[in-house]
Chain A
Amino acid sequence: MDKLKMVQRFPRSRDRLLAILHELQRANPRNYLTGEDLRLVAQYLDLPLSQVHDAVTFYSMFSLVPRGRHIIRLCDSPPCHLAGAWSLLAALQEELGIRVGETTPDGLFTLEFTSCLGVCGVAPAMMIDDQVYGNLNPERVREILAGYREAG
């Protein structure tokens, strides 16, 4: 869908800012917001561009640089840490060859930390895009990554 049309589905009120940004970012296969997106939203909501930029840079779910097609969000808050999240991190970094905050050279994955995902009952957990995975161990993590790689 054309970006302008996407934005126009929302009422012109600044409290819609985050919802609109989510929508635009989701539509971008590389999971980020472009300068053009920001200008479009600023114009639509009648806000200074600096204010939109200010908000975007605050929230961890938004990015201004291209990310992988899949965003891996690993939880390392205390319940997951207790259950061995650090061992998953080691496996992820080794398997992907990147560190937290980086994107794989093939543009497939970005690795990030997230605050608690609220599925502590199945700790340690991670989220890939909108999908939550729990009861993980390094082995499972490798399997899951392989699945995404196969699917491309």
Chain B
Amino acid sequence: MRIARAHVLVGVDEEARLAGVERVLSALRKKLAELGLADEVQVVETGTLGLSGRGVVLVVYPEGVYYAGVTPEAAEEIAEEHLLKGRPVERLRLPPQAPVVAPRRLLGRQTRVVLRNCGLIDPEDIEDYIATGGYEALSRALQRRPEELIREIKSAGLRGRGGAGFPTGIKWEAVARAAGPEKYVICNADEGEPGTFKDRLILEGDTHKLIEGMLLAGYAVGAHKGYVYIRGEYVLSIARMERAIAQAREYGLLGEDILESGYSFDLEVRPGAGAYVCGEETSLIESLEGKRGWPRLRPPFPVTYGLWGKPTVVNNVETLANVPEIVFRGADWFRTLGTSSCPGTKVFMLLGHVQFPGLVEVEMGTPLRTLVYELGGGPPEGARVKGVLVGGAAGAFLSPEDLDVRLDFDSMREMAAALGSGAILVFDQSVCMVDMLGSVLRFFRHESCGQCTPCRVGTDALVRLLDSIRNGEGDEGILELMMEITDTMNLASLCPLGQSVALPVGTALSRFRGEFQRHLEGGECPRCRQSEGALT
């Protein structure tokens, strides 16, 4: 990195792009040049700064002053007032309790492991990553035996962050022990769960960390080829990953004889084409092979029969992003974070009716209440929390009484909920549960792949039944029928898509039953009328 008096870090992600970050950047650079500050002040395009819905966000270091909603004119003002005259522009500053990436005093209860570099480095520059200790874990690992690496991940207790929480070390061990010389590592970046964009922001904010994680996984299991499967809609992610791979090759970190260790590994990007079900690992593998993304019957599992029928590790983006940190700092350090059965941190997207929506990373086991009220600032003034949908569409509806639940795989399972993808959608009294569940069910009907009958027929039947409730047709038998259908889907569907529908339906009907009953009795609901007009 060039030595500069001040750094301006500008969050460049999809949100910032649509808020016109390109224009802000050029205005800022032009103004700095005019003021003769071009050599003194370095402008760094970095990943997300962790705040949603605030337009272009930038931070000025060394002071660590955050600005939000920055327009080209505001950027010029910041250049002139703050960077030239040293007076922060108070009018444009962010409220201090907002959950941004840094500085430390603003972090509150956040613990940054996965997002350590996000918003602090330029993800398009490998040197930036190396300067933060990047690829150090790889160089250490390559001097050890692959089994030692697996032992380290196992004793760290890392569990898959894609939703299922399966122990990563055990998965790796199974692939390492599987027969045959040809093995693969796949990074699942087919993020499609509603309300979920953490993987995109990790990938776009710290691209090389993901490459390092995949290299470590590859070395541990004896694979020489890896694929990053990215959603077709994530145009920026695909471009950044392609560029990072090219840089890593240039630096000899991908390809033959990496760091003169004799180990070879290479990576390629594969785009998806718009299918939620491809986030399920066997569908993803089918899609990668150039077929329709239909889930496979299991067993055999991908660890023995994966891509092209060979043993394959499929790990989520966030899981892989934890790996270099664990290898670098050790399993014992990792175990100091989180709970004993779920060590480490978890990245959440805090959305909906909270004052500070955005990306947060906290230790496993942090109470939901802390996220909603401390990091999210609670609901907007005058509103009350009615419920929280945790885990995306395939998640559970919780009520205000449930807010003390701890966010880790086991605590959530105990209350018959799931951590899922980490999407936390808070909603206030203005929301109608029938309407909300309708949105979830239409989503599943749209995304059911159609291969197995319980899911194909079940998702459609559920939407129709919900419409009956909305129209006040029928009686409570409908609610029982919905439960019966989701039970069947849970038992008989081929993959988690169909199985998981039971969770939102069951939790909505049990926790908010009265509202469904009122609709059945023919009570007028303005919210339902509004959305019905458009959707049916």
Task: Please state if A82 and B293 are interface contacts (CB–CB under 8 Å).
Answer: no
A134 within 8 A of B: yes
Q: Are A22 and B195 in contact (CB under 8 A)?
A: no
Contacts A78-B439, A116-B192 known; A51 to B52 CB distance under 8 Å? Answer: no
Query: Contact partner of A93 among B271, B431, B534, CB < 8 A?
Result: B534
- Contact B292–A55 (Cβ < 8 Å): yes
Residues 229-244 (chain B) with a chain A CB within 8 angstroms = 231-235
> Which of A1-9, A103-111, A119-127 sits within the interface?
A119-127
Nearest A residue to B427 via CB reads A82
Q: Are A60 and B275 in contact (CB under 8 A)?
A: yes
Chain A CB within 10 A, most for which of B194, B289, B358: B194
Contact, CB under 8 Å: B271 / A78: no
Whose C-beta in chain A lies nearest to the C-beta of B446? A113
Q: How many angstroms between the C-alpha atoms of A45 and B443 in the bound complex?
A: 34
Contact residue range for chain A?
35 or more
Q: Tell me which of B51, B191, B289, B425 contacts A15 (CB under 8 A).
A: B289
B425 touches A90 (CB 8 A): no
Bound form: Cα–Cα A52–B308 in Å? 18
Distance in angstroms from B307 CB to nearest chain A CB is: 8
Docked Cα-Cα span, A73 to B534, in Å, equals: 16
**Set of chain B residues within 8 Å of A127, measured between Cβ atoms:** 233
Pairwise interchain contact B446-A51, C-beta atoms closer than 8 A: no
Q: A89 at the A/B interface (Cβ < 8 Å)?
A: yes
Asked if B436 CB lies within 8 Å of chain A CBs, one says yes
A57-77 contacts to B (CB < 8 Å): 57-62, 73, 76-77
- Nearest-neighbour CB distance to chain A for B515, whole angstroms, equals 16
**Nearest-CB residue, chain B, relative to A22:** B271
Does B357 sit at the interface, judged by CB under 8 A? yes
Among candidates B18, B54, B233, B439, residue contacting A114 with C-beta atoms closer than 8 Å: B233
B288 within 8 Å of A (CB atoms): yes
How far does the Cβ of B50 sit from chain A's closest Cβ, in whole Å?
10
**Which residue of the partner chain A has the closest CB to B451?**
A58
Contacts of A123 in B (CB 8 A): 351
Contacts of A73 in B (CB 8 A): 233
Which residue of A has the minimal Cβ distance to B289? A15
B358: which of A79, A81, A121 is its contact (CB, 8 Å)? A121
Task: Give bound CA distance, A22 to B192, whole Å.
Answer: 19
A86/B530 in contact, CB under 8 A: yes
| Given A122-B53, A134-B15, CB of A22 within 8 Å of CB of B232 | yes
B residues 163-187 with Cβ under 8 Å of A?
none
Q: Are A77 and B232 in contact (CB under 8 A)?
A: no
Contacts of A113 in B (CB 8 A): 446
CB atoms of B436 and A81 under 8 A apart = yes
A114 with B274, Cβ < 8 A, contacts A18-B287, A82-B425, A121-B52 known:
yes
A86 to B352, CA, bound (A): 16
B530 nearest in chain A by CB position = A86
Q: Chain B residues with Cβ under 8 A from A135's Cβ?
A: 53
A21 at the interface (CB under 8 A from B): yes
Task: Encode contact with A along B411-452: 1 for CB under 8 Å, 0 otherwise.
Answer: 000000000000101010001000110011011001101000
Residues of A within 8 A of B245 (CB): none
Is A152 an interface residue, CB under 8 A from the partner? Answer: no
B15 and A86 contacting across the interface, CB-CB below 8 Å: no
Query: Which of B18, B439, B449, B533 contacts A81, CB < 8 Å?
Result: B439
Partner of A132, one of B14, B193, B294: B14
Which residues of chain B have C-beta atoms less than 8 A from A134's C-beta?
A: 15, 18
In this complex, what residue of A is CB-closest to B53?
A: A121
Question: Which residues in A have their C-beta under 8 angstroms from that of B287?
Answer: 18
- Decide yes or no: A61 and B436 within 8 Å by CB, A81-B531, A118-B234, A122-B18 being known contacts: no
Query: A96: which B residues are within 8 A, CB to CB?
Result: none
29 inter-chain pairs at a CB distance below 8 angstroms, sorted by A residue, are A15-B270, A18-B271, A18-B287, A18-B290, A22-B232, A51-B291, A55-B290, A58-B293, A58-B449, A59-B273, A61-B232, A77-B443, A78-B392, A79-B351, A79-B352, A81-B439, A82-B352, A90-B534, A114-B233, A115-B274, A115-B443, A115-B446, A118-B234, A120-B195, A120-B423, A122-B15, A130-B235, A131-B18, A133-B18
The 9 A-B pairs with the shortest beta carbon distances in the complex, nearest first, are A121-B52, A77-B194, A17-B290, A58-B292, A118-B197, A59-B273, A61-B274, A86-B531, A81-B439
Q: What residues of chain B have their CB less than 8 Å away from a CB belonging to chain A?
A: 14-15, 17-18, 51-54, 191-197, 200, 227, 231-235, 270-276, 287-294, 349, 351-353, 357-358, 389, 392-393, 423, 425, 427, 431, 435-436, 439-440, 442-443, 446-447, 449, 530-531, 533-535
Known: A59-B273, A77-B194, A81-B436. 15 other contacts (CB 8 A): A17-B290, A19-B270, A58-B294, A59-B272, A59-B292, A62-B273, A77-B443, A82-B352, A86-B531, A89-B534, A115-B194, A116-B196, A119-B14, A120-B194, A134-B15
